[in-house]
Structure 1
Amino acid sequence: MKTFNRIVVLLFLLTAGLNTQASIVSDTATVVILSVNDMHAKIDNFPRFKAMVDSIRQTGEYVLLLSAGDIFTGNPVVDQFPEKGQPIIEMMNLTGFTASALGNHEFDYGQEVLARRMNEAQFPFLSANILPDSSSPVRFRPYVIITLENGIRVGILSLIQINEAGLPDTHPSRLEGLIFPDGLKVATSYASLRDSCDVFIALTHLGYETDIELAGILPSLDLILGGHSHTLVKTPSVFNGVMIMQAGSGLRHVTKTTLKLSDKTIISRQAETLSITGFRKQDDELLRLIAQYNDNKELNEMIGTALNEISGSDELGSMMTDAMAAIAPIEIAFQNNGGIRVDNFPKGDITIKNVYQLDPFGNEIILFYLTPAEIRSLILNAYNRERAIDLQTSGISYTVLTDAAGNGMEVEFRLSDGSAPDEEKTYATGISSYIASSYQFDHKDEGASLYITTAQSLINFIRNKKALDYKGVKRTFVKAAE
């Protein structure tokens, strides 16, 4: 692997360290840390990004290049590649990444695929609060200590978010054989890592608010470089003496943190956010590679037309659930807002690539026979996760009645013909496998897979309809209870 900027990477395991003879440290030194997060397979910006990184490396400073997780899911060219995720690993290798945190979407392709991508990566993946058992094929380190040629030691500890169910936000079936302790509790057990390094960094996939909590309990950190919440931190934030930065998402920005040290002690910290999309130069080799990846006839196939822009979760979610409800015997369908991954379908041609950008997760449709009371339970529990509408729907329209604090109290719904549901009847209800496995709701029926993904149902639906118009469609409402 090509060595950048005289960096010697020493990877330390929990059980053992690797000894090395450090070079004599000069009185002062500058270390530049470039960090991105939540790239979500957006490889099209890599030619500009690599050109920018190369230009910074040419300044002669010591440069580290880090990713705070979620490198996968969000670009069909990468997600639907025969070896899922391989294109972005190639881009990261060619750009010379130093390390990458594991984010929740690293697990979207399953652990076997992740293990193959990790083996191909010329940089380590990190997480301190993932504990694999012997059945899991993935292996990674909780942290690394990087010793620069001038002897300065940079420690990088990584943590991943967990949700209220104690798991990262991905399909639970893809997490079998893994245990996820609370990241903040785990972090404190690594406080002694401070004694083994001159610069102590947390490379996290926790979200900005949790990064602030981390700074509160681990003040020995110099810097937190975060991800997960897609927060663009333009001005350095300092909490409890710890600087916190995050670079948005989609490889549109990079954080540049400059540390000046004297006798191995940080004497100044500066950070700024740089625009990748605004950088003029591009790397020729990566331009050629990405052109080859994007030349995909299957993904570029036109399957229908949007007569008007289809925008927002109401319109896009209504389209997605109508596609599910077009499959017999489904009468009612639901789609969670978190599974709607684009802001709009522009007016005009719709391609298969558009569909996979909207719905990249590969979730299957699960059929439940639910009573009206059970349907209300699903809607209400989903609403109260964030005290906001979370489920788009087909076959019904519904209103969540809230109390003064905004908590969902009751649900009223009508069938698509305006009639009230039959309280004694069960309705064939289609939901994604993610909702079925991750959401809490009352149901006697155990559910059964229809063995078709939500994305494929939408492809079929658009092909059959040819022309779509969802302008102004809205089926979900919130009202304060009287």
Structure 2
Amino acid sequence: MKEIEIVILATSDVHGKMSAVNYVDKTKDDQKGMAKAATYIQAERNLNKHVLLIDNGDLIQGTPFAHYAMTETEALNPIVQVLDYLQYDAAVLGNHEFNYGKERLDKVVSQSSFPWLSANIVKKGTNEPYFGQPYMIKKFDDVKVAVLGLTTKYIPHWEADRHIAAFDFLDPVDKGREWVRFLKEEEQCDIVIVSYHGGFEYDPVTNKKISEHTGENQANELQALEGVDVLLTGHQHLQYAVVTEGKKAVIQPGTQAEFVGKVALTVRKKENEVRIQKVIAELLPMNLYMPDDTITSMLKSIELEVDEWLDEKMATVSHRVAIEDPIHDVWLQEHPFIEWINRTMMKHTGAAIACTSLLRPDTLVIDKAVSRRDVHALYPYPNSLAVVQLTREDLRQALEVSASFLMVDADGQVYINSDWERPRLLSYNYDMWEGIEYTIDLRRPIGERVVDLSMGGEPLNNGVYEVVTSSYRASGSGGYHMFGKDKIVKDYHQDMVELLVEDLKREQKLFVEADQNWKVIY
């Protein structure tokens, strides 16, 4: 009879966060990132003989550093270099891996020494996993451990068709059930770990509903599959470390390597039978660790390139402009930054109406000149544009979705609707519009808050209106069912950040004004 301990370490939703550098404010240390996680990972390897290291997806997108690595240089991807240095056993495909298109993703995969796993992302029209390996197996002494990769099937709802034309996204629960059975019966694996880039509809601890039933997040169903010993999750940027009554470990380690998930399995093998005697699941905070010197040195050259690239001045500004209190600066009245984004989209496409949101509700102050760093702070996602055709009723319903974001209490104080804080703050779904005039009355019931809607001072007619928005919103994501891919009449391949940069370079001066075409009563 032999007993060993197997340690599973998991990162998820790192989003290109390699160093602790804050790319908006260089004076800040974010106290997270893979350089810090590396120190902890190396310490675990020194302490434990049997370590399995997995990244659970959304790795290569999300910071200016990641954007630069994917679009501005032909050098070996530094994110891949970091994971190779740390000897990751595998990575799982997340939804944001597809943001830069198939060719760039293929290049990243080809540069990696570790396999990229996803059993349910298959070659179009087949059941053959596109990236080759649906799972990996590693032996620890005589114990055979499998990691099965799965990815949310919801990617076609968000991603541009041109980026995913080569793939089908099958149901992860169906494929999970099929492959777990194969791993147990055919491969004779003792332990099966499912690493799923997706999240929960119900809190795995309290069973409280935390997201809508759309098929985007199926971790609860995967957790219930027979034969799964450990479930690694992500996508929602939440923090969970749970051991169920049936000794099943469930992990979700947040985002940007703020935490590393750890599952420790004490395993006893007697003859051909393996039993898990003890399970510990925990999240370790990375702010306790110093950055790894080798990774810091490895990244130094490209960090300097990125820094210089971000500091490039694009245009002067007519006067100081800031976002310091999002509720009062942006969400209750039109902000010049929002007007500029909408106007740039309208200028580029010729659409008469536009909508956008504040994608990251952080403090942002621009004085004298706008840099590329400022643009990335304001628009951190690699969205492209799409023009959709909407009716008057579609427009009204879309405005009502946004109108449910804010509430007002008996004292007249405005606050964020708690429904918009599950599973995390969803402020990026609060759209603000240009090209129409409208009034939202927060004192009225949700669904009846849009009390005025016009265009050019005239009521909207029964015709169809062309609206430009992000590819994300055009797909109908974020609760906007009145949008959808069937309503897209034209899409544009260029990244929105680059469109904003081009506009600044062309105009040389940003006139930060807002026409206040909408208002909120409270």
Q: Which amino acid aligns with 1:95?
A: L
2:172 and 2:441 mapped to 1: Cα distance?
Answer: 35
* TM-score in terms of structure 1 length: 0.78
Deviation at 1:172, TM superposition (A): 3.2
2:139 and 2:284 mapped to 1: Cα distance?
Answer: 26
* TM-score in terms of structure 2 length: 0.73
- Tell me whether 85-94 or 186-195 shows the greater mean CA deviation: 186-195
CA deviations over 1:197-243 (Å, ceiling 9, x no partner)? 2222111111133465235531422211111111112x425265422
2:293 corresponds, among 284, 287, 293, to 284
Identity %: 22
- Which 5+ residue runs of structure 2 have no aligned equivalent? 20-32, 202-216, 406-418, 421-425
1:222 corresponds, among 222, 226, 229, to 229
2:519 and 2:93 mapped to 1: Cα distance?
Answer: 35
Correspondence for 1:459: 501
Q: Which amino acid aligns with 2:139?
A: T
Equivalent pair of 2:58/2:93 in contact (CA under 8 Å)? yes
SS in 2 for 1:189: helix
Answering whether residue 304 of structure 2 is matched by residue 295 of structure 1, we say yes
1:355 and 1:465 mapped to 2: Cα distance?
Answer: 14
1:174 and 1:85 mapped to 2: Cα distance?
Answer: 21
Correspondence for 2:344: 323
Deviation at 1:441, TM superposition (A): 4.0
SS in 1 for 2:236: coil
Correspondence for 1:185: 174
Counterparts in 2 of 1:62-461, with a 5 A limit?
62-81=50-69, 82-83=73-74, 86-133=77-124, 138-148=130-140, 150-163=141-154, 167=156, 169-192=158-181, 193-195=183-185, 196-209=188-201, 210=217, 212-233=219-240, 235-238=241-244, 241-263=247-269, 264-280=274-290, 282-296=291-305, 297-303=308-314, 307-309=321-323, 312=326, 314=331, 317-325=338-346, 327=348, 329-335=350-356, 340-341=359-360, 343-346=362-365, 348=367, 350-367=370-387, 372-376=392-396, 379=399, 390-398=430-438, 408=447, 412-414=451-453, 419-423=457-461, 429-438=467-476, 441=482, 447-449=489-491, 453-460=495-502
Length, aligned pairs only:
444
Distance 1:212 1:364, change over 3 A: closer
Q: Which amino acid aligns with 1:356?
A: H
Equivalent pair of 1:130/1:181 in contact (CA under 8 Å)? yes
Distance 1:77 1:426, change over 3 A: same
CA deviations over 1:295-333 (Å, ceiling 9, x no partner)? 132222133565323564745655532432455744321
1:449 and 1:427 mapped to 2: Cα distance?
Answer: 16
1:445 and 1:33 mapped to 2: Cα distance?
Answer: 45
- Tell me whether 255-264 or 377-386 shows the greater mean CA deviation: 377-386
Correspondence for 1:11: none
1:382 and 1:448 mapped to 2: Cα distance?
Answer: 24
Equivalent pair of 1:172/1:437 in contact (CA under 8 Å)? no
SS in 1 for 2:498: helix
Correspondence for 2:43: 55
SS in 2 for 1:88: helix
Equivalent pair of 1:212/1:239 in contact (CA under 8 Å)? no
Correspondence for 1:4: none
Equivalent pair of 2:40/2:289 in contact (CA under 8 Å)? yes
- Which 5+ residue runs of structure 1 have no aligned equivalent? 1-25
Equivalent pair of 1:115/1:137 in contact (CA under 8 Å)? no
Equivalent pair of 2:321/2:365 in contact (CA under 8 Å)? no
- Tell me whether 385-394 or 88-97 shows the greater mean CA deviation: 385-394
- Tell me whether 58-67 or 297-306 shows the greater mean CA deviation: 297-306
2:174 and 2:119 mapped to 1: Cα distance?
Answer: 11
1:240 and 1:169 mapped to 2: Cα distance?
Answer: 36
SS in 1 for 2:287: coil
SS in 2 for 1:141: coil
1:226 and 1:478 mapped to 2: Cα distance?
Answer: 41
Equivalent pair of 1:84/1:113 in contact (CA under 8 Å)? no
Equivalent pair of 2:14/2:256 in contact (CA under 8 Å)? yes
Q: Which amino acid aligns with 2:342?
A: T
1:361 and 1:138 mapped to 2: Cα distance?
Answer: 25
2:228 and 2:374 mapped to 1: Cα distance?
Answer: 42
2:252 and 2:111 mapped to 1: Cα distance?
Answer: 26
